[in-house]
Chains A and B, each alone.
Chain A
Amino acid sequence: MPHEQKFAIPGQYIIPTHKVAAEKVVEKYVPGKGTTISSIDVEADQVKSIPVIVATIIGKIVIREIVVSDKEDEKDEADSKDSHIKIKNFVVNVIPKSNTYMQYQEEVGEEAIPEVGNISINLPQEGDVVLARITRLNPRQAFCEILTVEGHGNVLNDSGLGANGENAHRSIPAGGGSQSLSSHTTIASQASSINAVASDLGETFKGIIRTQDVRSTDRDRVKIIECFKPGDIVRAVIISLGDGSNYYLSTAKNDLGVVFARSEGGAGGLMYAVDWQNMICPETGVIEKRKCAKPFTS
């Protein structure tokens, strides 16, 4: 890697946007996540402004080369043919230490490699698969709150939004106050207390699953009460950013739907899917209707 320092703090210059690396090789740097372009004024013969990439967050500097597709390569070559200069493109990122994506990878047992595409702010985006908890039902739609984005970890942890910002609750004991569910395993575990959520402060991202987005067949005759119950954990895909206050989610796929549910409105035992629309509690034998997610995708 063509840089010396490993870490950066906000405001720290990382690298100029252009650099001559060797003879006839120019390196071009593009700001990525956690960085921006700023300019330094240099007083030589006259005042000169040099664009420089500056860190905006605390973290590790990761510089990756952009591999350009063949077509663009040719174009680039054509451009620089006269001068015979080779241009190399790099993207500069700063990855925060407490990146939830890395935490997530550690939890699921993978090696935590700083993955440039998944750093910093994990705002749910269109097409993302999320885990959401149903909060309220009405005959036309189910309201829910988004807990995690699949492959990115918990949304709240480093979204930097709300009164908390990043990990503001670290000192509060689990189960107390507005502690957020900070990992995938807590959300999935039976023991996780319903109180230990950032939703107490209304800081989660809200979503809506409309009746027509619950399943792909027979979508006019969906009864919302036979698909979800408050407290269920649902795997859903974001179909649109919706309005300012709600995302629109959909469960209209085999592997989407309720993944964790307890019987009798949360008072009973944990239930398991027996088919796509029934869940059973093995201890009491209670069967309840849900729009289940296919447990194993092959």
Chain B
Amino acid sequence: MPDWLIPALITLLKAVLVALALLTAFAYMTLVERRLLARMQIRWGPNRVGPMGLLQPLADAIKSIFKEDLQVTMADKLVYTLAPILAIGTALTAFGGIPAGPAGSLFGADPWVYNLDAGLLALLALTSMGVYGIFLGGWASGSKYPMLGALRSSAQMISYELGMGLSVLGTLMLIGSTNFRVIVEWQALQGWTILFQVFAFALFLVSSFAEVNRTPFDLPEAEQEIVAGYLTEYSAIKWALFQMAEYVNMMTASALMATLFFGGYRGPVFLDGLIPGISGWPIIWLVVKIGFFLFLFIWVRATLPRLRYDQLMRFGWKLVLPLALGNTMLVAFHLAFLRPSGLGLWFLGLLSLAALLVLFVMGDRVRSLWSAPAAPKVPAKATRPVGGD
């Protein structure tokens, strides 16, 4: 028996476990989302199938498997089938790189599926592969609404991918590695990155909302505007695969935010005073943080109206992109000049917080960047009679 077989089998087992766990989590996530949205709107949500509606996800899954799988005559047969597989494949793979504990804490095995040195880059690459799934799905449907949704979606996702990629640069400068384990260990020593990078975190949060197509940025599937966007011609399990990919991407984005800015699988150290060792509980803390961000995703969905498409693109290009670059240069300046002169990381945290506050205070002035269409001034010609129509 070759010596690589046992580790490969363990990895296979872990990969299958992660994939199944994500799919189960997706199923119950839909239930939790419906229940929470219902509670926020003072109604009850699904509570008939099983106790507290707990069997609702199962019923939905069985239904979507037994549905007829239609394919419109105009569709491109191969790509139409491949697009949902691509979407779910990249979405599930992206999660495997997130470390859920220190080495060897999963019954002697490592609690991650793969641990690349370029972990963050691999994750960003995989999430942006999701664009292909959505765009090809919309294009291959051979119908107009999916094509519209696909175009809008791809332009939106690539725009906010820039914001996402640029807003983590400051964190990377501080830590000096793209390996998730190194990032978490650095935070265990120096404090969570959110303390020094609250401005970057705000940009990253907004970008990841847009990247996973959630309200207020869910234009690709804006039901009231373009039917269901790229999902219009999909039925049965292929539709479900796209939905799964969206929710799995949401979980990955939450895990990424937790890992990059909130100390990953380590809890706050000051809690150790209450219960010794609580900050080191593996997996639990990561799940808690992911749960918090998922709740945030749902909460925002129940709260904010959708942006218009032009507002969305202006917001991404005119606000998020330059601010992310500015944040990067701020961190670079701090590391190059302020830190050697004795002002520590806490000063960077203050600067970052101040930048965020300035942005909030300036909100009304900055809003013209994305809300008012800065039309060229056309001299007003009084062609319409006043008062008449």
Are A and B bound to each other?
Answer: no
B contact residues vs A (CB 8 Å cutoff): none
A contact residues vs B (CB 8 Å cutoff): none
